[in-house]
Structure 1
Amino acid sequence: MHFIRSFGPAVPRVSLSEAFRAGVGALTGLGVSGVFLLSPEIDVNTGLYLVAPFGASAVLLFAVPNSPLAQPWSAIVGNTVAAVIGIALSIVIADPVLRIPLAVGLSIMAMILCRAVHPPAGAVAMTAAMSPEAVDHLGFWFALTPVATGTAMLVALAMVYARLTQRTYPFRQFEAAGQSGREDRKPVERLGLSEGELTELLERYRQAFNLGVEDLARLIGAAELQAASHGMGPMVAEDFMSRDLITVRPDTRLAEVADLFRNHRFKSLPVVGPDAKFLGVIFQIHLISEARNDALRLERGFLSAFKRLLDRHREKPIRAGDIMSVAGPRATTQTPIAAFISLMADGTVDAIPVLKSGQVVGIVTQTDIVAAMARQIVRTE
């Protein structure tokens, strides 16, 4: 039974939205490359044409952008080196039965030595070795155009697309500054392990091609948090959430929202429609960001822009529905505390609304998490 199961899927389930994001990214990347850089018609005289391995590169760049195999160095250098080897062998070896497998094998060796392993590069080497007519016309220029040029174009588009879809590509290096731009790393990545130790772990378990050091740090930190949460017992959101909520309507003016923040010292306010149906959340930072954007757009000072934002006599006032966040995480009354700890540990989420049948029935803040953990500690002592 275990042997049979080993032939099943090894990749965890992903959401439909993530599959859609990856597919649209590949479509956009190859489409834009074909329109603006590469001619979809094969033209061996110019070298500007699409080659089949670009499709495989698109899978890595847009579907698994965190993979070490998908990073810019791996993609551009790997494809280019493989093209050079395939071209060289096309020149010196006439027999395709020998030339093609030799091109792929030597390309793999070269990519590993260059620390630029990129699986589609094997197909690049094979393409070059199987296309002596292109080599006759272009020679080693084939490695520059279309291979290096096309791959660089895909990498550039993948970087733009990742930013637009709130992903990170290329992945952040281990020694890079944290999210705030300062030296401190995210709390879930403060492991007490050096980059060298993490790299040694990857090499020891032969996972260097599958995970980057940054990803390993994040996974270990998340696993530690998950394990620690097991000691909290079977606590769920309804056990510790804040229930006495103050909410606003989408048509509430920002001046009223600001008053609520000031009077109650809240950091977030749920936005609800009829029958307490949850619509979104407003955080204090939303007011600050809106004022900053207004100041830049109108070329005025920040305080002046903020005063204008909250002006009660403004002809067309900005309302809560205009700036609320609708894409943040949500929970149910039965969501375990472990899920909240994982989401809030890195400081990017301050509050999570708790919903029941589409209605907001509570909210969990960082303060609620700390209080729940403190109560649990007292009970176990």
Structure 2
Amino acid sequence: MIRLRHFGPAMTAPTMAEAIRAALGAGVGLLACNLILWLAAPAASGLFLLIAPFGATAFLIFVVPNSPLAQPWSVVAGNTLAALAALVTLALAQDPLVAAPAAIALAILGMAAARAFHPPAGAVALATVISAQSPAFSGWTFALSPVLAGSAALVATGILWNRATGRVYPFRQPPPPSSHGTADPAPDRRLGLAPADLAHLLDRLRMSPNIGVEDLARVLSAAGTEAAAHHLGHLSAADIMSRDLVTAAPTDSLQSLAAAFRTHRFKTLPLSDHGHYAGLIDQSALLGLTDPATTAADLAAPVATLPPDATAADLMDLLADGRQQAVPILDGPRLAGLVTRSDLIALLSARLRDS
């Protein structure tokens, strides 16, 4: 049964910062598009070079850049195919009452064949039919400029703007199986569905135009991490971390570091410079080194750190992907503790046994 609430807003409200980011991006994108079209045809400087569907294309690229409908292939191929579909239709039927709906139908079929669905392309087909009624219509070159050139300009501007403002565009693709050069998936993906399975699931639910495979995998992975973190209750990094730390000084020699790793059987060793955190050394960094002048400071690598009030989910996010063995916990510049992957596994295992 359809209820009144079904007609209300169906999405969460965006932050004002995100709305401003998207609005400015769309404006910059359309301005760049108009400039490029003018440079391509300076003789048309007195004409309005943008076509109305570009407004909808800009909305997708700058407001929802992670949508499959907003990706470069969908934008450029979808809009261009729609224009060509309209031009073919006009060659067969001059009457716009017939050509307009036929052009849109043919455009949808073309986009489906090319896997390039882009909703504004339907408007491109209609705009082409309408523009063809003008004596100044450019004919078949209309598909090249403004449609192809303008679509490419919006995509190029979208790539630059989104990446400069912290958004990923084009959207994420499934990563290679492993960062270790093996066929195994990354550790945080081994219990989930393979990309092909996710793609099949999206197709079965008819949701493939709404979300990409990799973004869906990230959502499922994040949900799994949160579910696992719930087993740890409301524990923070301060509750989990080791406090009585064995540290190295930046000036410690290679021989001293090797002795510390042998004695304590650690995989990582944090550096402390008079109580201030100065980096983390992985035991693998010592392999093959013989130069006695090498110091701990030469081997320290920058890794992600967290404050004492970070959640268990924050720790799991950093330790699950295999990029680092331990997370230094910093209270300002001071090294307050260390959480290793082994610490977290042992704690999670104990909580699961008790539940």
User: What is the TM-score when the length of structure 1 is the normalising length?
Assistant: 0.67
Letter in 2 for 1:337: A
Partner of 2:38: 39
| Rounded Cα–Cα distance in structure 1 between residues aligned with 2:50 and 2:313 | 48
Match 2:316 to one of 338, 341, 361: 341
Partner of 2:354: 380
Letter in 2 for 1:71: Q
Change (3 A) 1:45 1:359: closer
> Shift of residue 114 of structure 1?
2.0
1:105-130 Cα distance to aligned partner (Å, 9 max, x none) = 33223212221101111121121121
Residue pairs, 1:124-163, within 5 angstroms:
124-133=124-133, 137-163=137-163
Letter in 2 for 1:169: Y
> Shift of residue 13 of structure 1?
4.4
Letter in 2 for 1:173: Q
Letter in 2 for 1:80: T
Q: Does the 8 Å contact 2:177/2:186 carry over to 1?
A: no
Q: Which moved more, 1:191-200 or 1:118-127?
A: 191-200
> Shift of residue 178 of structure 1?
5.5
| Rounded Cα–Cα distance in structure 2 between residues aligned with 1:340 and 1:218 | 17
Q: Does the 8 Å contact 2:54/2:120 carry over to 1?
A: yes
> Shift of residue 201 of structure 1?
0.8
Residue pairs, 1:190-269, within 5 angstroms:
190-191=190-191, 193-241=193-241, 266=269
1:46-95 Cα distance to aligned partner (Å, 9 max, x none) = 99922222222122222222221112211111000111122333444344
Partner of 1:301: none
| Rounded Cα–Cα distance in structure 2 between residues aligned with 1:150 and 1:12 | 31
Letter in 2 for 1:132: A
Letter in 1 for 2:344: I
| Rounded Cα–Cα distance in structure 2 between residues aligned with 1:181 and 1:161 | 33
Structure 2: which 5+ residue stretches go unaligned?
Answer: 261-267, 282-293
Q: Which has the larger Rg?
A: 2
Residue pairs, 1:303-342, within 5 angstroms:
333=309, 336-342=311-317
Does the residue aligned with 1:140 lie in a helix, a strand or coil?
helix
Letter in 2 for 1:222: A
Does the residue aligned with 2:231 lie in a helix, a strand or coil?
helix
Are 1:170 and 2:175 matched, yes or no?
no
| Rounded Cα–Cα distance in structure 2 between residues aligned with 1:101 and 1:4 | 33
Q: Does the 8 Å contact 1:191/1:217 carry over to 2?
A: no
Change (3 A) 1:112 1:236: same
Change (3 A) 1:375 1:160: same
| Rounded Cα–Cα distance in structure 2 between residues aligned with 1:85 and 1:114 | 13
1:283-336 Cα distance to aligned partner (Å, 9 max, x none) = 559xxxxxxxxxxxxxxxxxxxxx9xx89xxxxxxxxxxxx99xx886673x54
Q: Does the 8 Å contact 2:188/2:320 carry over to 1?
A: yes
| Rounded Cα–Cα distance in structure 2 between residues aligned with 1:55 and 1:339 | 39
> Shift of residue 228 of structure 1?
2.7
Residue pairs, 1:76-91, within 5 angstroms:
76-91=76-91
| Rounded Cα–Cα distance in structure 2 between residues aligned with 1:98 and 1:238 | 70
Change (3 A) 1:48 1:150: farther
Are 1:28 and 2:2 matched, yes or no?
no
Change (3 A) 1:180 1:152: farther
| Rounded Cα–Cα distance in structure 2 between residues aligned with 1:351 and 1:376 | 21
Letter in 2 for 1:164: A
| Rounded Cα–Cα distance in structure 1 between residues aligned with 2:116 and 2:140 | 20
Q: Does the 8 Å contact 1:79/1:120 carry over to 2?
A: yes
> Shift of residue 212 of structure 1?
1.9
Instruction: Report how many residues are paired.
Output: 331
> Shift of residue 370 of structure 1?
3.8
